[in-house]
């Protein structure tokens, strides 16, 4: 029969159309919120999603996975006396590995001796050139530069971030990437313990 294929296809459209309402009713019966709730958004991006699929940005936002990466930031530790300890030692690996070369670092020098001090005086990242590849965070040996989760930063100007704008506390990092932060902290503590043990063994001799 001519038109059978079209009807068969339309049955798929028809099913998809009703799925949205059936799903809405089933969520309503269970007393749960399908829209504007984390649970609802998670369900809509799971393998069981049926019917309407879209997420209404900016009212609703997709849940970003831990590994999600967007523009880098610098991590600092908050010391007990309220001082900021910048993790960056201005070793320059991030600037060397950066594919579009958008990282600019001025290394500090001790005015008395003229020797380099492991703190950056100036640190710039041109966010409009940054390609969000994540190499800087991946190859940083001091866990000092990390990729952010904040993605809606559209503006009318060129976004060149300086040290002040780049620095974010380690607590923020632990918040957006809990698993990575825990793993890295443990590794760093183990390394420091090993170093201390070695120094102790040396002084004992």
| Residue 4 touches other proteins, criterion: CB under 8 A | yes
Q: Which is nearer to other proteins, 41 or 75 (CB)?
A: 41
Q: Do the Cβ atoms of 177 and 141 come closer than 8 Å? A: no
User: Is 74 a binder of other proteins (CB under 8 A)?
Assistant: no
Q: Does 118 interact with other proteins (rule: CB under 8 A)?
A: no
- Rounded least distance, CB 101 to other proteins, Å: 5
What gap in Å lies between CA 62 and CA 85, rounded to an integer? 33
The reply to whether 142 sits near other proteins by the rule CB under 8 A is: no
105 touches 163 (CB < 8 A):
no
Give the residue, chosen from 36, 45, 171, 182, that forms a contact with other proteins under the rule CB under 8 A: 45
Q: Tell which one of 32, 33, 84, 96 touches other proteins (CB under 8 A).
A: 96
Residue numbers at the binding site for other proteins (CB under 8 A): 2-6, 8-9, 12-13, 16, 45-47, 49, 53, 64-69, 90, 92-93, 95-99, 101, 103-107, 116, 122, 124, 126, 131-135, 138-139, 147, 158, 160
């Amino acid at each position: 029969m001519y038109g059978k294929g079209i009807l068969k296809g339309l049955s798929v459209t028809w099913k998809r159309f009703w799925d949205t309402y059936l799903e809405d009713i089933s969520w309503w019966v269970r007393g749960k919120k399908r829209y504007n709730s984390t649970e609802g958004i998670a369900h809509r991006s799971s393998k069981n999603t049926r019917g309407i699929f879209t997420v209404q940005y900016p009212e609703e936002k997709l849940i970003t996975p831990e590994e999600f990466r967007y523009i880098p930031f610098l991590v600092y530790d908050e010391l007990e006396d309220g001082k900021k300890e910048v993790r960056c030692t201005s070793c320059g690996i991030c600037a060397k590995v950066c594919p579009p070369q958008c990282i600019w670092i001025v290394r500090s020098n001790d005015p008395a001796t003229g020797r380099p001090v492991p703190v950056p005086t100036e640190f710039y990242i041109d966010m409009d050139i940054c390609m969000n590849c994540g190499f800087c965070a991946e190859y940083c040996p001091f866990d000092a530069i990390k990729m952010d989760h904040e993605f809606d930063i559209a503006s009318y100007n060129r976004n060149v971030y300086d040290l002040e704008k780049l620095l974010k506390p380690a607590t923020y990092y632990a918040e957006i990437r809990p698993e990575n932060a825990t793993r890295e902290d443990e590794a760093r503590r183990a390394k420091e313990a090993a170093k201390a043990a070695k120094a102790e063994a040396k002084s004992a001799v």
